[in-house]
């Protein structure tokens, strides 16, 4: 009987010891878990700074009311539709061809950078902007805006226009979409286009009023060393 009682006591002691060990292990495990740092959550991506569309080596046709209006060629095209002012960006440059209702190219434009504001229907063309109209007149500037809603081009920077017989340099410019009727805010000089005439940009003169200057056909070329500088006065129209 004593042996049985002793054996039972030994079993109880062993059971209690196991429970104590398990409890200690559980406490150690819980303690180690409580000291662990919580997993870091990845930063939330700002959707406004990510393009919905990213395309490279693009050539596309833009239509309006079922009529083909433009053909665009670009090395890169990003569309940011979630920005506060949705826009499309062409960071590596763009080339436009504008079509008339008969699908003939009536103007083409290229630049090193372009951005289109969708809400305002406004293009910003920047960096070596070159445009040519149907008459073959070449427009060159560093910045040009194209408002499609108002159907006009304009710039507030230096612009040079090369016509058949002369070069016109001005600061400030506005034109219709075909670039066939345009005005200058501050003409800087008119230079004959021939082998002996200098075609460098003239020094700035006193501001002159807006002058409407269409194609020149009957203006005689001055000597090579001279440039005709418009004088201040009322709006001048050359036919």
What are the sequence ranges of the domains in the chain? 47-187
**What local confidence, expressed as pLDDT, does residue 224 receive?**
39
Return d(Cα 107, Cα 124) in angstroms, integer: 17
The pLDDT value recorded for residue 70 is 85
What's the angle, vertex CA 74, arms to CA 68 and CA 75, rounded to 5?
155
Q: Could you say which residues of the chain have pLDDT below 70?
A: 1-45, 195-239
How much of the chain is helix, strand and coil, in % rounded to 5?
15, 45, 40
Q: What is the pLDDT of residue 153?
A: 96
Q: Which residue has the tokens 């305002």?
A: 120
Name the region of 20 (left: φ>0; alpha: ψ -120 to 50; beta: rest): alpha
Two structure tokens written together for 109: 């434009």
In this prediction, residue 219 carries a pLDDT of: 39
Asked if residue 87 lies in contact with residue 80, where contact means CB atoms within 8 angstroms, the answer is yes
Q: What are phi and psi of 212, to 5 degrees?
A: -90, 120
Tokens encoding 198: 């200098």
pLDDT at position 50 is 86
Q: What does pTM read for this prediction?
A: 0.62
Separation of alpha carbons 179 and 155, rounded Å: 13
Maximum Cα–Cα distance across the chain? 140
Looking at residue 195, what is its pLDDT?
A: 53
Query: Percent of the chain beyond pLDDT 70?
Result: 62
CATH architecture label of 47-187 = Sandwich (2.60)
The residues facing 148 across adjacent strands are none
pLDDT, residue 233, reads 41
């Amino acid at each position: 009987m004593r042996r049985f009682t002793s054996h039972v006591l030994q079993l109880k002691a062993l059971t209690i010891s196991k429970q104590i060990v398990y409890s200690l292990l559980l406490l150690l495990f819980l303690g180690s878990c409580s000291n662990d740092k919580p997993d870091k959550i990845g930063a939330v991506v700002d959707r406004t700074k990510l393009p919905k569309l990213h395309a490279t080596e693009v050539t596309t046709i833009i239509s309006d009311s079922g009529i083909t209006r433009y053909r665009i060629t670009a090395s890169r095209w990003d569309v940011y539709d979630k920005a506060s002012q949705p826009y499309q960006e062409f960071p590596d440059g763009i080339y436009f061809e504008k079509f008339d209702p008969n699908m003939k190219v009536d103007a083409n434009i290229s630049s090193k950078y372009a951005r289109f504001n969708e809400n305002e229907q406004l293009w910003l063309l920047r960096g070596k902007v070159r445009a040519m109209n149907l008459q073959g007149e070449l427009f060159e500037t560093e910045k040009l805006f194209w408002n499609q809603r108002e159907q006009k081009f304009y710039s507030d920077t230096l612009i040079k226009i090369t016509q058949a017989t002369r070069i016109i340099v001005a600061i400030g410019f506005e034109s219709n979409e075909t670039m066939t009727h345009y005005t200058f805010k501050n003409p800087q000089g008119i230079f004959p286009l021939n082998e002996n005439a200098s075609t460098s940009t003239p020094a700035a003169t006193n501001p002159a009023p807006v002058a409407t200057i269409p194609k020149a056909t009957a203006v005689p070329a001055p000597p090579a060393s001279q440039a005709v500088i418009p004088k201040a006065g009322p709006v001048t129209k050359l036919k």
